[in-house]
Amino acid sequence: MSDCIFCKIVDGSIPSKKVYEDDKMVAFYDLEPQAPVHIVMIPKTHIASANELDEHNSPAVAHIFSKVPEIAKSLGLNGGYRVVNNCGADAGQTVFHIHFHLLGGETLGTMV
Ligand code: 5GP
Ligand code: ZN
């Protein structure tokens, strides 16, 4: 999508500090980290939010989760981490290209 910030990160027109990339996804440092390690993981295909997932596009999400252990290990998150998805206004979603926050590097508070 032409006006989507994360599609622009995928195509390189907005720079990002990437920690992982393959043909289906990109993982990069969040601009405003909420933990010592705060990564955003996105599919290269534009899906607006978790509310748009279906049986056809959900493999893109499964792929991201299949790479979480490898990404977490590469960042030294040996003590654990949290994966978060904000869906929609009530959850505070600000970028409407589905993404998963990977948070760690300290003992995280109880959010749920
Ligand atoms: P949301 O609130 O939608 O779950 O999360 C969006 C996240 O994207 C926020 O944590 C915000 O800091 C991050 N973000 C927004 N724009 C950019 C950007 O241009 N580059 C990077 N690296 N992160 C961004
Ligand atoms: Zn997008």
Q: Which residues are catalytic?
A: 99
Distance 31 CA to ligand 1 centre (A): 6
Pocket of ligand 1 (CB under 6 A): 5, 14, 16, 28-32, 40, 86, 92-95
Distance 95 CA to ligand 1 centre (A): 7
Given a contact cutoff of 8 angstroms between Cβ atoms, the answer to whether 100 and 40 are in contact is yes
Given a contact cutoff of 8 angstroms between Cβ atoms, the answer to whether 4 and 94 are in contact is no
Structure tokens at 92: 């505070």
Q: What is the mean pLDDT of residues 78-105?
A: 97
Among the bound ligands, the one closest to the CA of 42: 2
- Global pTM? 0.97
Question: pLDDT (tens digit, 9 = 90+) per residue, 18-76?
Answer: 999 999 999 999 999 999 999 999 999 999 999 999 999 999 999 999 999 999 999 99
